[in-house]
Structure 1
Amino acid sequence: MAGLLSRIRARVERLGFRALYRLADLTYALGVATPKRTVAGTYWSYEPTNPHGDDPGLAALDRLPNDAVIFDAGAHAGEHAIPLARDTDRRVIAFEPNGESADRLARNTERNGVGSRVDLRRVGLGDASATLTFYRSTFSKCSAFDRESATRWGASVAGTESVPVRRLDDLVEGAGDGRSDEVDPVPPPDAFKVDVEGHEAAALRGATETLAAHRPLLVVEVHEAGAAGGDSPEETASDSGPTDLREWLDARGYAVEEADDVWICRPRDSAPPEA
């Protein structure tokens, strides 16, 4: 009986996700934008739902000054980037390797009139500069650099594309030494939000120099999936699980505050902003 109930529950979840993503396709096709109320303010989006409206990570980011520079890795359709930029002087650098999501982010950015403050970069972030195969999922938010993540919840791979991946240290002004003249540098961050479907540790590894030099606030959505990491948590953050990632952050002077599946990580050498 328990096995039967589990299968029924899984099927209902798959049907629910399929209906949700078909609805999103429809709202974008018809141009139906609705207001989304969040802890960082209200904005307009063609997305049919508002999954991050009360997100504690979004709330922590919104406590930053109105002229802060925020990096948003895994920006999707702008659920964090747009409310953080709207009605402020903040600059948000949005990294989104999924072409469909990047197109939707651009459209939502235009709808809210924040194109001058949201800088869209159609690249992934990792611990090495490369061009990798990206798996586009039928459930767009599941799209990832590995097939397993792209086929969660009953989704399937809709197609593949080659996507550039960069170390953040090679993009930030005055950080790494691997930046190409073809890449526009980005200013040092006050905060770095990471939600990259199981590859959070790799993205953070590629930002090691930036974290050491600029001590940004980190907001990390933790997933279990991902590629294998390095030799030890003292040297590298293994993508094998949250324990290794926590040890890696601790070794670099970051205190982790858990809020559901979001980690709010502050450098121990700075006080948290006042509410």
Structure 2
Amino acid sequence: MLDPRVRLERLGFRTLYRLADLTYALGIATPKRTVAGTYWSFEPTNPHGDDPGLAALSRLPADATLLDVGAHVGEHAIPLAAATDRRVVAFEPNGESADRLARNAARNGLDVGSDRGIDLRRAGLGDERGSLPFYRSTFSKCSAFDRDRATRWGARVAAIETVPVFRLDDLVEGVAAGDEAAGAVGSAAGATTDDAVVEDHTAAGDPVPPPDAIKVDVEGHELAVLRGAAATVRTHRPLLVVEVHDGTTGDDPSEDGGGDSPAAGDDRADALRSWLSERGYGVEERGDVWVCRG
């Protein structure tokens, strides 16, 4: 039997996501005030208004190039692109979230796919090229390449989509992926090699310009994304903003099927910290958000 706290938490999530479905269906956009400026969104809440990672990114020059990996519906991408000459390349494998990002961008007068504004790529990033099943959750923020993460807090898998996955080093203009990136094995292991997907230019798009910053929020696959960007990090030394998710994927890890243990999450964080340290990056840990400077 579920703990009353867990039941209440599940009810809160279910209510929140049903409300989001309603605001998008009715076209109700409201202003969201953030540390990067105010923008309009059809989302009912403003979870990243005072986000320390968003604050760090907002201090970049007005013509900077930023990569938003795991862009969701644009809570970072849109305020960072609005009223500036920044180019934001947004990677979002969840088709529903990508559609909502495009709609939110249009509400703010931002072009999607332009040299200035938001360049939306409907794909995932990892440390291998290919394709993977993506589990779209009824709680959209929980959608992930792992079924367990997509079913947290009583959510269900709404659909399973096969999405293309790329290494960032294969996309960034002028970067030749070295042995370090090519030989890395991470959570993208098991991806199938699918030339039709890898060569799909709708997903891959034009070459990605060298980034001044990379923000990563990918539900536990942060290290795989960075391993696939090793040459880019080494060559361009971008600011890295990483949202680090713990290892708990269920309501109670002690239950059967509850997911990773907290210790697994600690191991993942330690591996990420070591990877950054080996490349000369200092880490400012601000809760779940790590601001990393080389």
Query: Is TM (by shorter chain) over 0.5?
Result: yes
Helix, strand or coil for the counterpart of 1:132? strand
Query: Is 2:118 the partner of 1:118?
Result: yes
Residue in 2 aligned with 1:208? 230
Answer with 167-176 or 20-29: which moved more: 167-176
Residue in 1 aligned with 2:52? 56
Helix, strand or coil for the counterpart of 1:36? strand
Cα distance, 1:240–1:122 mapped onto 2, change above 3 Å: farther
Matches within 5 A, 1:176-187: 176=176, 182=201, 183=204, 184-187=206-209
Match of residue 289, structure 2, among 258, 262, 272: 262
Structure 2 counterpart of 1:84, which letter? L
Q: RMSD of the TM alignment (CA)? A: 1.8
Q: What number of residue pairs does the alignment pair up?
A: 252
- 1:153 deviates by 1.2
Helix, strand or coil for the counterpart of 2:234? helix
Cα distance, 1:218–1:208 mapped onto 2, change above 3 Å: same
Cα distance, 1:239–1:259 mapped onto 2, change above 3 Å: closer
**TM-score, with structure 2 as normaliser:** 0.83
Answer with 177-186 or 151-160: which moved more: 177-186
The question of whether the paired residues in 2 share the 8 Å contact of 1:23 and 1:48 is answered with yes
Match of residue 102, structure 2, among 99, 106, 115: 106
Distance in 1 (alpha carbons) for counterparts of 2:120 and 2:266:
26
Give deviations 1:133-176, integer Å, cap 9, x for gaps: 00010100100001011011111111101000000000000113
Query: Is 2:219 the partner of 1:192?
Result: no
Matches within 5 A, 1:63-212: 63-115=59-111, 116=114, 117-176=117-176, 182=201, 183=204, 184-212=206-234
Structure 2 counterpart of 1:191, which letter? A
- 1:188 deviates by 0.4
Unaligned runs of 5+ in 2: 183-197, 249-264
Percent identical: 72
Match of residue 246, structure 2, among 201, 224, 231: 224
Residue in 2 aligned with 1:234? none
- 1:240 deviates by 4.6
Unaligned runs of 5+ in 1: 227-237, 268-275
Residue in 1 aligned with 2:14? 18
The question of whether the paired residues in 2 share the 8 Å contact of 1:28 and 1:46 is answered with yes
- 1:225 deviates by 4.0
Give deviations 1:50-105, integer Å, cap 9, x for gaps: 00000000000000000000000000000000000001100000000000000000
**TM-score, with structure 1 as normaliser:** 0.88
Distance in 1 (alpha carbons) for counterparts of 2:142 and 2:220:
11
Structure 2 counterpart of 1:14, which letter? R
Q: Which runs of 4+ in 1 moved over 2 A?
A: 176-183
